[in-house]
Amino acid sequence: MPAMPLADPAGLRAAVDELRRGRRFLIVTHARPDGDALGSELGLARLLESQGKTVDMVVDGGAPPDLAFLPGAARIGGTPAHARPPYDAVLVVDASGLDRTEGMQAAVPKGARIVNIDHHASNSRFGAVNWVEGESASTGEMIYALAKEAGWPLDRDSAVCLYVAVVTDTGRFMFPSTRPSTHLLAADLLAHGVEPGTIHRAIWGQKTLPELRIHAEAIRAVKTAAGGKIAWTRLTPEMFEQAGIVITEGQDFVAMVKSIKGVEVAMLLRAVEGAVKLSVRTEATCDAVALCARFGGGGHKRAAGATLKMTMEEAEKAAVEAAQAELGP
């Protein structure tokens, strides 16, 4: 089976070396983890434990409810106090910078040896060991490649975790980052017992009626600029109040906006505590990283985000101006 093309094979070897040598590990990922972050953390933990190693995991607030179905999610500690050093290394997955782990930085012991495993091209290489694959569609794919390199067998649970990582970060195998090797590894994960229908239902088939109604509100609120090439919507505290729920995950919403014919820059502005979370999805005519970097954010060329410490009105104006400036002719 053709393996994933590697941009940084030396990084992979260094990471495997580190994991082979160590006995005790802490794994952390970016705050408000998505499917790739949590799937990679749990999948890697399971692989290490299958080799007789000890692994702790921490995520601010524990595993988010929408990903609690992942095998092992209940074991994740919700505060830095769940870390029980000493560790031979701290493994940071799916985070472009150590600051992206936010509150969980406090779980990382001073002077700890950090192994940085990530697929953001903008990664700041903050580890003692850095394995960065900027062309990889997900960190989950990297963990799969790592298992192959180390010769560590997958089981059903690790396969489920890695499948969730891959299926979410590729937008269900629809983003241009999806490569032949992505489908081949997905096939292998299915061979290990992953049921795609079950996972699909767990991730995308559990919406409540209030949630669906917020989708309807968000569609109603879509605005456009640049002759329909830029489209955006917002999720405001008023909308949350009306629906009686708070939306904490914007991927579905921004994908909805992106699905409008002719849209090259899709944006979601979502009210979070004291700020606005911006999510951007683009076609090749606009670099989403450059757009979000204007606000101190980052991500991938076609999918990036930032947090704007502004009111919703200010954020909307600033984001649309930035999109207009970054959109090519």
Task: List residues near Mn ion by CB under 5 A.
Answer: 34, 36-37, 94, 139, 169
**Residue from 54, 79, 307, 324 binding ligand AMP (CB under 6 A):** 307
* One-letter identity of residue 173: F
**Residue from 306, 312, 320, 323 binding ligand AMP (CB under 6 A):** 306
299 makes contact, choosing from Mn ion, ligand AMP, none, with CB < 5 to 8 Å by partner type, with ligand AMP
Site for ligand AMP contains 300 (CB under 6 A): yes
> Do residues 208 and 195 lie in contact, with contact meaning Cβ atoms separated by under 8 Å?
no
> Do residues 288 and 281 lie in contact, with contact meaning Cβ atoms separated by under 8 Å?
yes
Contacts of 49 (CB under 8 A, 6+ apart): 55
- Cβ 156 to ligand AMP shortest distance, Å: 27
Nearest of 82, 86, 105, 80 to residue 25 by alpha carbon: 86
Contacts of 220 (CB under 8 A, 6+ apart): none
Closer to Mn ion by Cβ: residue 95 or 247: 95
Cα–Cα distance measured from residue 185 to residue 166, given in angstroms and rounded to the nearest whole number: 9
303 makes contact, choosing from Mn ion, ligand AMP, none, with CB < 5 to 8 Å by partner type, with ligand AMP
| From 148-156, 201-209, 211-219, 299-307, span contacting ligand AMP (CB under 6 A) | 299-307
Site for ligand AMP contains 279 (CB under 6 A): yes
Q: How many CB atoms lie within 10 A of CB 66?
A: 15
Closer to ligand AMP by Cβ: residue 54 or 236: 236
- SS3 call for 85: coil
Site for ligand AMP contains 90 (CB under 6 A): no
Nearest of 120, 101, 283, 281 to residue 292 by alpha carbon: 281
37 makes contact, choosing from ligand AMP, Mn ion, none, with CB < 5 to 8 Å by partner type, with Mn ion
Cα–Cα distance measured from residue 261 to residue 242, given in angstroms and rounded to the nearest whole number: 29
Strand pairing category for 275-282 and 265-272? antiparallel
With left for phi above 0 and alpha for psi between -120 and 50, is residue 228 left, alpha or beta?
left
Residues 120-159 that bind ligand AMP (CB under 6 A): none
77 makes contact, choosing from Mn ion, ligand AMP, none, with CB < 5 to 8 Å by partner type, with none
Cα–Cα distance measured from residue 41 to residue 138, given in angstroms and rounded to the nearest whole number: 12
> Do residues 149 and 50 lie in contact, with contact meaning Cβ atoms separated by under 8 Å?
no
Closer to ligand AMP by Cβ: residue 11 or 297: 297
Closer to ligand AMP by Cβ: residue 11 or 35: 35
- Cβ 233 to ligand AMP shortest distance, Å: 13
Residues 208-237 that bind ligand AMP (CB under 6 A): none
326 makes contact, choosing from ligand AMP, Mn ion, none, with CB < 5 to 8 Å by partner type, with none
Positions in the binding site for ligand AMP (CB under 6 A): 96, 250-251, 279, 297-300, 303-307
